[in-house]
Structures are given as C-alpha cells and as structure tokens.
Amino acid sequence: MSFGEAIASVFSNYANFDGRARRSEYWYFYLLNTIITFPLNILSRVDGIGFVAAIIYLVYSIAIFLPSLAVAVRRLHDTGRSGFWYFLILVPCIGSILLIIWLATDGDYGTNAYGPNPKINHYTDNNYSNDTNSSNSTNSTNSSNGSYSGDDYLNRF
C-alpha cells in the first residue's frame, strides 16, 4: 500500500471502527500527522505567528482525532486484539511501549474475528492477476473472481 493509498484509506474510513487496517495504513497516517504537526508545533512558539499556528494546530488536532483513533482500533483488530486495548495508552510508559509493539506487529494471517486479512484483500480488490505466460507456476487463480488463496499470496513475494 502506497503513501497516498494509505491516507485515502484512512479518510475513506474516517469513523469506521470495524474491520482491520494494514501496518502501512497506520504508519503512513502516523507519518503524515508527524509531518504536519511538528512544524505547526514549532511555529506556535514563534513570536508574531505563534497564535495563528497554535489555532491551526488545534483545529487540525480536533479534525484528525477521530480518524486517528479509528485507524488505531482497526490496526489492533488486525493483530487480533479488541480496540479497547487502546486505552492501555493511559498506563504510563509500559502502556505506550506495549501499544507500539502491537501496532508494529504483523497482523493475523487469514481471517480473524474482525474480518479478512487486508493484505490479501488489497491484491484481490485491485484485480491482481498471475502471470499467464508462466506454464509451471505453482500459483493458482480462481478465474471467476480473481482471488488468491493464502498460499498463493505468500508465493508471490
């Protein structure tokens, strides 16, 4: 998932707490927020423009709160955990460290209680197809819907 696809996915699921989010979706969104908020935070301390930058920072933070929470919950779902584990961030030090580890961990392979694996769905949603010129390929495609089994996905990479 590219940077643009990840950001578009987060905003298209603005307040969606259901399903799963890929690592790239979460971390690219985190990167975008860091790129935007870091300069605004610095500019808010500069005399003359600090008040305007602080207002922009506040408005941005309020606007981005819900999608940030939603993508974090979906990311926890991808690892097989309930979104309520996000409240662990309220525990000093240990809670944040544990959440970072969970958010950086690869998601459950295959379908879990929160839905299908978004990595596999990403390729089937974009009509990802096998190389038809390869005669001895071990990958097999279901030609009726263009989907891959999990083994096929792993063999592609």
Percentage of the chain surpassing pLDDT 90?
A: 39
Judged against a pLDDT cut of 80, whether residue 130 lies above it is answered with no
User: For the chain, which residues make up each domain, given as ranges?
Assistant: 3-129+143-152
Judged against a pLDDT cut of 60, whether residue 40 lies above it is answered with yes
What confidence score (pLDDT) does residue 144 get?
44
What confidence score (pLDDT) does residue 123 get?
52
Question: What whole-number distance in Å separates Cα of residue 62 and Cα of residue 124?
Answer: 35
What confidence score (pLDDT) does residue 68 get?
94
Mind listing the pLDDT tens digit for each residue in 48-93? 888 888 899 999 999 999 999 999 999 999 998 998 999 999 999 8
Instruction: Choose between 121 and 1: higher pLDDT.
Output: 1
Mind listing the pLDDT tens digit for each residue in 5-24? 888 888 988 888 998 998 99
Structure tokens at 93: 């030090």
- 13 neighbors 5 (Cβ within 8 angstroms): no
The amino acid at 52: V
Judged against a pLDDT cut of 90, whether residue 46 lies above it is answered with no
Judged against a pLDDT cut of 50, whether residue 111 lies above it is answered with yes
Work out the average pLDDT over 84-110. 91
From residue 44, alpha-carbon distances to 26, 30, 56, 67, 112 in Å are: 26, 21, 9, 24, 44
